Amino acid sequence: MPGHVIEVKNLYKDYQTAAGKFPVLKEVNLEIDAGDFVAIMGPSGSGKSTFMNILGCLDQPSSGEYMLNDQPVARLQGDRLAKVRNQTIGFVFQGFNLLARSSLLDNVALPLVYAGIDKPKRHARARVLLEKVGLANHVNSHPNQISGGQQQRVAIARALINRPSLILADEPTGNLDSKTSEEIMALFGELNREGITIVLVTHEPDIAEHASRQVRFLDGKIVEDTRTAPIAVKGAPHV
């Protein structure tokens, strides 16, 4: 296993606008080790979401290097890039992004369809993960039949289905109340203790406190990178 899951060197990202070139990221350098739990923070427009899109291979830098598990991915395109996303990264979004007309079982199993896994195997793996996140009794339910917190648990199960080495979570508690947010962060903490590297974007300091490392962006640059002991969560569910 590589020491660094993520290694970014001299990363720049510009967007072309009617007024000319607009810099979003400027000389970003960052290393994230296997097993890290990192909170990416910063005000709106600081570049944190653009940075996460690059980490997730959803966007490409204008210049610089991005190594993911020792593989240079900054310039990958097409099927090669899709394969990296499918096999290496699990995504969790603020809006859950579940398919309304599909069961929870099929929502969780969806990435395995793209991986070419047959239906019995992908359903078996999805059942295990729904049990892992406490939803074993809801496999045949649909997203509109469960709460927002439960929907986010489904999204986390889906992110785990391909056994990724890295989970990227973009404001995963943004649509949840405080109690449910704590439950979701407890779940992330447990997954991290199992060895999964987690990087999440949040603007909420209390959510960032669950991470063992906080990286703060301002005006497209990293201005702070600190390590702390993550807060202990009483009554965290075992997963």
Each residue's pLDDT tens digit, 17-69: 888 889 999 999 999 999 999 999 999 999 999 999 999 998 999 999 999 99
How far apart CA 142 and CA 123 sit, in angstroms, is 15
What percentage of the chain carries pLDDT values higher than 70? Answer: 95
User: What integer pLDDT is reported at residue 237 of this predicted model?
Assistant: 45
Mention the CATH class of domain 34-60+78-227: alpha beta
User: What average pLDDT does the chain have?
Assistant: 90
Give the β-pairing of 197-201 and 166-170.
Answer: parallel
